[in-house]
C-alpha cells in the first residue's frame, strides 16, 4: 500500500519567518496531494491541495510544490503568524485504493 | 466550520460495550469517509460510502461497521469495545469520490473506553 513519510515532526520558527514541511510517497500512481491543518480539539481543515498535473500552487501565504519524479511534495508557509501554530498533515490519494493516506504530522510552533 | 457535523462530541463507555457515532455530510456531498486518529497510529482511513454504497475499506476491524442512509447521513458502529479503541473518530465528506473532490472533515467524536 501507499507509504507517506512526513518531516520534520516538530518545527519551531520565529514570527515572520518561513516554514517548510516535506512529504514523500511511494506509489507513482498517486494523483492528489492535500494538506490539512489541525488545531487542538478540532478536526483537520483542508488548507491547500495540488493535483498531479501541476507543479506548484499558491494561496496567499501558503504554497505547495510537487515533484512527481522524485515523489515528494512540500508545504511552504511564508510570513508565519502565531495563529499558524498547529499540527499539519500531508495526505496522498491513490485511485486504486480510493482513499487518503496521511503523513504522521508536523507540530508547527510560531514563536513571538 | 466545514459543514460536516458529528455527534456526540464526547463518549465514555466501558469495555465490551457498543456505541454508535453519527455523521451528517455537507449539503450536496455524496461521499462519507470515516477515520480514526490515535496517538500511536495517526490518522487512519477506516471506510468510505458513496451514495449509500460501500466504496473503499481501510484498516477497519471486524468489530466495526458502518452504513450510509438514504438521507446520506452515516453511522459508525463500534462493538465489543477494547481499551485500544479509545481515539478520535472523524467523519469527512466530499461531493464525489476522493481524488476528484476535496474531503472536508467534521469536528470529531472523542471515544474513551474505560
> Is residue B33 less than 8 Å (CB to CB) from chain A?
yes
B91, B32 Cβ separation under 8 angstroms: yes
Banded model confidence at residue A94, pLDDT cuts 50, 70, 90: confident
Q: Which pLDDT score, from 0 to 100, does residue A97 have?
A: 62
Average pLDDT over residues A65-94: 95
DSSP 8-state secondary structure symbol assigned to residue B25: P
Contact residues on chain A for B48, CB-CB shorter than 8 A: 98-99
Q: Which pLDDT score, from 0 to 100, does residue B99 have?
A: 59
Q: How far apart are CA B10 and CA B112, in angstroms?
A: 8
Q: How far apart are CA B101 and CA A98, in angstroms?
A: 12
Smallest Cβ–Cβ distance between B45 and the set A32, A45, A100 belongs to A100
Non-local CB neighbours of B67 within 8 Å, separated by 6+ positions: B49, B74, B75
Banded model confidence at residue A106, pLDDT cuts 50, 70, 90: very high
Phi, psi at B19, each rounded to 5°: -135, 160
Residue A98 has pLDDT above 80, yes or no: no
Banded model confidence at residue B100, pLDDT cuts 50, 70, 90: low
DSSP 8-state secondary structure symbol assigned to residue B101: B
Q: Which pLDDT score, from 0 to 100, does residue B101 have?
A: 77
Q: What is the 3-state secondary structure (H, E, C) of B36-71?
A: EEECCCEEEEEEEEECCEEEEECCCCCCEEEEECCC
Contact residues on chain A for B97, CB-CB shorter than 8 A: 98
> Is residue B3 less than 8 Å (CB to CB) from chain A?
no
B33/A99 Cβ within 8 A: yes
Q: A14-70 pLDDT, tens per residue?
A: 999 999 999 999 988 888 999 999 999 899 999 999 988 889 999 999 999 999 999
Q: Which pLDDT score, from 0 to 100, does residue A52 have?
A: 82
Q: Is A79 left (phi over 0), alpha (psi -120 to 50) or beta?
A: left
Q: B17-54 pLDDT, tens per residue?
A: 999 999 999 999 999 999 999 987 789 999 999 999 99
> Is residue A99 less than 8 Å (CB to CB) from chain B?
yes
B9 CB-contact burial (10 Å; exposed 0-12 / middle 13-18 / buried 19+): exposed
Contact residues on chain A for B99, CB-CB shorter than 8 A: 31-32, 93-95, 98
Average pLDDT over residues B70-93: 97
A68-77, B44-53, B58-67, B91-100 — which is least confidently predicted? B91-100
> Is residue A23 less than 8 Å (CB to CB) from chain B?
no
A111, A85 Cβ separation under 8 angstroms: no
Amino acid at each position: 500500500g501507499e507509504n507517506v513519510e512526513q518531516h520534520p515532526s516538530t518545527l519551531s520558527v520565529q514570527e515572520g519567518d518561513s516554514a517548510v514541511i516535506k512529504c514523500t510517497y511511494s506509489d507513482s500512481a498517486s494523483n492528489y496531494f492535500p494538506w490539512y491543518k489541525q488545531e487542538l480539539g478540532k478536526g483537520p481543515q483542508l488548507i491547500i491541495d495540488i493535483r498531479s498535473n501541476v507543479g506548484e500552487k499558491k494561496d496567499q501565504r501558503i504554497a505547495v510544490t510537487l515533484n512527481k519524479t522524485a515523489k515528494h511534495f512540500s508545504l511552504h508557509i511564508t510570513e508565519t503568524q502565531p495563529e499558524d501554530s498547529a499540527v499539519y498533515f500531508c495526505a496522498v490519494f491513490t485511485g486504486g485504493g480510493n482513499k487518503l493516506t496521511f503523513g504522521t504530522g508536523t507540530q508547527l510552533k510560531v514563536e513571538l | 466550520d466545514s459543514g460536516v457535523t458529528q455527534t456526540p462530541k464526547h463518549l465514555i463507555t466501558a469495555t465490551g460495550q457498543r456505541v454508535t457515532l453519527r455523521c451528517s455530510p455537507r449539503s450536496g456531498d455524496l461521499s462519507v469517509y470515516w477515520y480514526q486518529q490515535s496517538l500511536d497510529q495517526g490518522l487512519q482511513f477506516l471506510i468510505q460510502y458513496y451514495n449509500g454504497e460501500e466504496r473503499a475499506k481501510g484498516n477497519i476491524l471486524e468489530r466495526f461497521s458502518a452504513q450510509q442512509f438514504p438521507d446520506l447521513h452515516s453511522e459508525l458502529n463500534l462493538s465489543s469495545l477494547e481499551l485500544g479503541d479509545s481515539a478520535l473518530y472523524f467523519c469527512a465528506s466530499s461531493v464525489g469520490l476522493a481524488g476528484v473532490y476535496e474531503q472536508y472533515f467534521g469536528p470529531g467524536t472523542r471515544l474513551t473506553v474505560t
